[in-house]
Amino acid sequence: MMQSRKLGSADLFQIIELHGPTHDADWMLPGMPPADLQANAAWLYPDFWIPRTNRLVFTFQLWVLKTGRSTIVIDTGIGNHKQRQAHAQNMINTPVLDWLAAIGAPREEITHVVHTHLHGDHVGWNTSLVDGAWLPTFPNATYYLPKHDWEAFKERYDAGVRDLHMAPIADSVLPIVEAGLAAYVTPGEVVADCLIASDSSGHTPGHLLYTFADGGDDVIFCGDVLHSPMQVLHPEINCRWCEAPDLARASRIALLKRAAQSGATLFPAHAKGLNGWRIGTTSDGFSVHV
């Protein structure tokens, strides 16, 4: 599925691999008050929560930003033919490469591949299966990996960890490094002359935000700092996979404060739609317009 909009002088495309109810809300957002989900059901359904099954609705996707100078992919989704522990992500087969070609971004013309973090559902299309080998999908691109994520994940991988998050390192990250296509990003760096990296660690050791500003309000590609708009109303609630809970909360609250003060639009990695989320303030916290 493809959608597009203008973003200043650039074009933003959303390439959706998978969209639907995937995770039990109590399991994915431990501590989220069920009564608050019910109280917000009218606007959470059907894009963010399915009340009858208590499932969160997630989107798995690639963002593509065409600036005229560069063609940038921001996070690369699940990928085809990848063996994954998560049932919904295991061995999927979607026409993402055809969709990229359809928007004028064939794989050979991608110039930058930017990652908010290195979880498997954000690195999948880094590589494609060719004659039994995992080869870089975008052979002419530089792949920008969060430096602190790479260091932490590589250490675990070398120690023999092959769990949910480390298994994708073998098929989707190491081939990029071995091909000499990787660059390593730290907070404050600018990628492709238009995306400013900021620290948002906590979900992973080196999670990054990327801010794009061009002729209007800032847009922030915020990865997995937010999985549900209910985390705007309850920023103290982490998702199940946040590695450093206190740090993840601090990063989320800092992002919400920044967006509320600046008017920046947020694009969480697992949210469908091209309008993004607008953050406001209330007497006791934050509000969200989705």
Q: What is the domain count for the chain?
A: 1
**The predicted structure's pLDDT at residue 164:** 79
- Residue 76's nearest CA partner among 168, 187, 184 is 168
Decide: 167 and 85 in contact? Cβ < 8 Å.
yes
Would you give per-residue pLDDT tens digits along the chain (290 residues)? 889 999 988 999 999 999 999 999 999 999 999 999 999 999 999 999 999 999 999 999 999 999 999 999 999 999 999 999 988 999 999 999 999 999 999 999 999 999 999 999 999 999 999 999 999 999 999 999 999 999 999 999 999 998 878 889 999 999 999 999 999 999 999 999 999 999 999 999 999 999 998 866 799 999 999 999 999 999 999 999 999 999 999 999 999 999 999 999 999 999 999 999 999 999 999 999 99
Using omega within 30 degrees of 0 as the cis cutoff, is the peptide bond preceding 46 cis?
Answer: yes
Looking at residue 215, its pLDDT comes to 66
Give residue 278's domain range: 2-289
| CATH number of the domain where residue 54 is located | 3.60.15.10
Which pLDDT does position 163 carry in this prediction? 86
Are 65 and 11 spatial neighbours (Cβ–Cβ below 8 Å)? yes
Which residue in 252, 189, 267 sits closest to 7, CA to CA? 267
